[in-house]
Amino acid sequence: SFSREAQLFVEKFEGALGKGKGKKFYAYKVMMTKKWMKFQRDFENFKTACIPWEMKIKEIESHFGSSVASYFIFLRWMYGINMILFGLTFGLVMVPEALMGKPYGSLPRKTVPRAEEASAMNFATLWDFSGFAQYSVLFYGYYNNQRTIGWLKFRMPLSYFLVGVGTIGYSFMIVIRTMARNANEEGGGDDTSFNFSWKMFTSWDYLIGNPETADNKFASITTSFKEAIVEEQESRKEENIHLTRFLRVLANFLALCTLAGSGYLIFFVVRRSQKFALEGLENYGWWERNEVPLRWQLGRIFALFLGNLYTFIIALMDEINLKASYLLPFMIFSMHLEEEKIVKYNMTIWEASLYNGTIPENSTAPPIQVDPADVPRGPCWETMVGQEFVRLTVSDTMTTYITILIGDFLRAVFVRFFNYCWCWDLEYGFPSYSEFDISGNVLGLIFNQGMIWMGSFYAPCLPAINVFRLHTSMYLQCWAVMCCNVPQERVFKASRSNNFYMAMLLFILFLSTLPAVYTIVSIPPSFDCGPFSGKTRMFEVISETLEHDFPSWFGKVFGYASNPGLILPFILLMV
Amino acid sequence: VYRLHGRYHEMAPNVVPMDYTKDPDVKLPMQLIINMPELKENPFRERIVESFSEDGEGSLSFNDFVDMFSVLSEMAPRELKAIYAFKIYDFNTDNFICKSDLEKTLNKLTREELTAEEITLVCEKVIEEADMDGDGKLGFADFENMISKAPDFLRYCFKKK
């Protein structure tokens, strides 16, 4: 038998090695090799356990298949991106301003106006991100346009600008890089001969000794077989090409119709609100009064718009969210121009009234101490836009969570406990347990990220809010999937749809960064708030930095290098 | 080897002697072996024990016991592992893995969660993929050819802590 052969072999070997010292050294070498292999295996296990949520995702994969698991892997990847965005905005924008900028109450833009002071601390106001939340580092309007702040001479406006541009650049880079990596992997993974044979003979892990792990392993093997079977069946089916083509065209056409319809609805609402704005202005012919009535009118318009907006959101959630948030900056900005003119006029009148006519116009006078809360404010459209985005994100999050709790959890509880006293079998008929809606969830995630990208320039707090949202979402959805959902009837493999979702993400990224880029390049910043106030264009902060902080020759070189002819090819090369 | 002897002895202290120099003829029944923690969760544990047993019924003498754990360890060469893997999956011990063997393997792997239709499909696909000589079942040459190309075989199969 084998062991007798082995014994002879060992004896021969021993003889060859000689006695004593040789034998010990060999035994030592064998022991070290064994220890090294064990260490390598343990380290691999440790590395896998360190990846956040890896165990959870593996468990979900074994019960629900690779496509459901791929949603969670996508969620985790998004979480990583948002962490980096959060790090940038928090570390380079919010913290320096909080630590080294002028404190709350020192400047008009940093103080709650007198009129709003009474309600500034209410929970309702804070939940709506007005009051104290609005006049803080969370939003664009709080930041001062001082070129350097603190003893470190931290260049705040420059930092704000670079962080804004940097987040856009980083997001592009990482999405494109992941797409390229996916494309590479897919090319190699298609060559699977012996697919079924390997699944049958090599999938069991002989090291498993724990019954729970064994359960998971059985489930994952079964799911893996089911996926392969479905793939095989699909490839065997004879396809009616014409029918599928017709169905595809029909689906696209219907989708376009809904998009056009919702676009028209939004356009209609905007027109209606603009009409209200014009009516409102006509009713107040005297600008010398304080701007509170004007503000009230604008508030009414916003309320109307928001009311409509929220109705639309519930009706056609994903698409409307994105399009509405896309139109928002432009809508708010058009009203802003009107308001700015009014306020500037107002302020000259107000300053004159302060001096009460005691000092003739053209002489200089000692500045009168006025409490910052009493100074009339210029409109700050960037903060308003930021607030809208934050509100949209929060409401979207709430809607998702409540949908999960009601749609999945309550439904499961109802089916489970009322099954005994109901006429028909609840579990097999209506409503039964819900399946996990992969595409809906992924699209929701993509559109949510689009909103974050669009809004983070105006509200540095958005990435932080999103990190919190994704973190809780991961736990909530993992729990909901394992507890309330059933696996789909047919389990599909995740590979081909991955790059489709990536392409969609890239498209949304491009769309969402357009408004921010447009703002930076062509719209003048508000004169009374934010780090760029007083400049004609936001990107002037760069030329200003070059003038003051770099030696003159550098400025000339940069002037030549910033020729668009050079920059465009450079960017294209990078991509 | 001393550790293995310790484990072997542990399982039935009354039967197994401490002293093996006289080469006694002692065998342990299958029931004891398949309850060992290393094998307890394994769906193929009965087959593993049977294929190492000299009398073919599943009782292991100490030599067989040592053989089993040495093949399962990481130090064993790949060809040896392939030979014993083939023996394990060959349920009716006819030196071929035929369709009924495949069906039994699949049922053990998935704990009978697949429908009959799915099982037939999988077994057909396996024979289609791996059967090189066209006799409708897998001989050892077919099996070895298929296993040698598998990337995971060495990593997940037949390792012992």
Residue range A355-393, pLDDT digits in tens: 665 555 555 555 666 777 777 777 777 888 888 888 888
* Residue A269: how many other CB atoms lie within 10 Å: 20
B161 close contact with A: CB closer than 8 A: yes
Q: Which candidate in B2, B99, B109 is best for mutational testing of the A interface (most A CBs within 10 A)?
A: B109
Query: Would the ipTM clear 0.90, i.e. be above it?
Result: no
Average pLDDT, stretch B136-158?
Answer: 70
| Tokens 């080897």, located at residue | B1
Min distance B14 CA to chain A CA atoms (Å):
25
Examine residue A214 and state whether it is found in any structural domain, yes or no. yes
Query: Does one domain contain both A64 and A42?
Result: no
Q: Which residue of B has its CA nearest to A214?
A: B41
Q: Would the pTM count as exceeding 0.95?
A: no
* Contact flag A208-B41 (C-beta cutoff 8 Å): yes
| Tokens 């989708």, located at residue | A255
Each residue's pLDDT tens digit, A72-103: 889 999 999 999 999 999 988 888 888 888 88
Is A360 in contact with A418 (CB distance < 8 Å)?
Answer: no
CA-based radius of gyration for chain B: 17
Query: Does one domain contain both A88 and A167?
Result: yes
Kindly give the residue spans of alpha helices, DSSP state H, lying in A425-563: 438-455, 462-484, 495-522, 540-549, 552-561
- Residue A15: pLDDT band with limits 50, 70, 90: very low
Residues of chain A with pLDDT > 90, as a percent, come to 5
- Among the partner residues A38, A198, A208, nearest to B150 by beta-carbon distance: A198
Average pLDDT, stretch A107-116?
Answer: 81
- Among the partner residues A37, A200, A205, nearest to B74 by beta-carbon distance: A37
Min distance B126 CA to chain A CA atoms (Å):
5
Query: Does one domain contain both A37 and A170?
Result: no
Q: And the tokens for A128? A: 């709506």
Phi-psi bin for A136: left (phi > 0), alpha (psi -120 to 50), beta? beta
* Contact flag B43-A232 (C-beta cutoff 8 Å): no
- All residues of chain A having their beta carbon less than 8 Å from the beta carbon of residue B74 are 34, 37
Number of domains, chain A: 2
Provide the β-strand partners of residue A434. A485
Query: Does one domain contain both A42 and A146?
Result: no
Min distance B121 CA to chain A CA atoms (Å):
8
- Residue A275: pLDDT band with limits 50, 70, 90: low
Query: Does one domain contain both A467 and A387?
Result: yes
Task: Give the closest residue to A224 by CA, choosing from B149, B43, B143, B122.
Answer: B122
Task: Give the closest residue to A305 by CA, choosing from A282, A278, A328.
Answer: A328
- Whole-number Å distance between alpha carbons of A243 and A334: 48
Q: Which candidate in A197, A223, A234, A237 is best for mutational testing of the B interface (most B CBs within 10 A)?
A: A197
Examine residue A210 and state whether it is found in any structural domain, yes or no. yes
Min distance A496 CA to chain B CA atoms (Å):
22
From residue A196, alpha-carbon distances to A205, A228, B45, B121, B129 in Å are: 17, 8, 22, 10, 8
Examine residue A545 and state whether it is found in any structural domain, yes or no. no
Query: Does one domain contain both A21 and A55?
Result: no
Q: Which residue of A has its CA nearest to B113?
A: A222
Min distance B148 CA to chain A CA atoms (Å):
10
> Which helix (H) or strand (E) covers residue B60, if one does?
strand B60-61
* Contact flag A204-B37 (C-beta cutoff 8 Å): no
A13 close contact with B: CB closer than 8 A: no
Query: Does one domain contain both A530 and A392?
Result: yes
- Residue A284: pLDDT band with limits 50, 70, 90: very low
B129 close contact with A: CB closer than 8 A: yes
Average pLDDT, stretch A438-456?
Answer: 85
pLDDT recorded at residue A81: 93
A210 close contact with B: CB closer than 8 A: yes
Q: Which residues 477-496 on chain A approach chain B with CB closer than 8 angstroms?
A: none
Query: Does one domain contain both A111 and A254?
Result: yes
Query: Does one domain contain both A37 and A80?
Result: no
A8 close contact with B: CB closer than 8 A: no
| Tokens 């409307």, located at residue | A320
Q: Which domains does chain B have, with CATH numbers?
A: 1-72 (1.10.238.10), 76-160 (1.10.238.10)
Min distance B27 CA to chain A CA atoms (Å):
16
Examine residue A326 and state whether it is found in any structural domain, yes or no. no
B102 close contact with A: CB closer than 8 A: yes
* Contact flag B113-A222 (C-beta cutoff 8 Å): yes
Query: Does one domain contain both A114 and A182?
Result: yes
Contacts of A229 (CB under 8 A, 6+ apart): B118, B121, B122
A251 close contact with B: CB closer than 8 A: no
Domain of A522 in residue numbering reads as: 51-318+372-537
Burial (CB count within 10 angstroms: exposed 0-12, middle 13-18, buried 19+), residue B148: exposed
- DSSP annotation string for A198-221: HHHHH-S-TT---HHHHHHHHHHH
Q: Across chain A, what does the average pLDDT equal?
A: 75
Examine residue A193 and state whether it is found in any structural domain, yes or no. yes
pLDDT recorded at residue A288: 35
pLDDT over 80 (residue A5)? no
Examine residue A560 and state whether it is found in any structural domain, yes or no. no
- All residues of chain B having their beta carbon less than 8 Å from the beta carbon of residue A233 are 121
Q: Which residue of B has its CA nearest to A236?
A: B121
Query: Does one domain contain both A104 and A33?
Result: no
Residues A537, A540, A542: CA angle, nearest 5 degrees: 145
- Whole-number Å distance between alpha carbons of A493 and A227: 6
**Bond preceding residue A431 cis, omega within 30 of 0:** yes
Query: Does one domain contain both A18 and A109?
Result: no
pLDDT recorded at residue A12: 56
Min distance A36 CA to chain B CA atoms (Å):
12
Whether the CA torsion A117, A118, A123, A125 is positive or negative: it is: negative
pLDDT over 90 (residue A467)? yes
* Helix A211-236 / helix A195-202 crossing angle, nearest 10 deg: 170
Examine residue A496 and state whether it is found in any structural domain, yes or no. yes
- Residue A255: pLDDT band with limits 50, 70, 90: low
* Contact flag A201-B158 (C-beta cutoff 8 Å): no
Q: Which residue of A has its CA nearest to B112?
A: A222
Each residue's pLDDT tens digit, A27-59: 888 888 888 888 888 888 787 777 778 888 888
Three-state DSSP class for A180? helix
Is A534 in contact with A145 (CB distance < 8 Å)?
Answer: yes
Examine residue A564 and state whether it is found in any structural domain, yes or no. no
Min distance B75 CA to chain A CA atoms (Å):
9
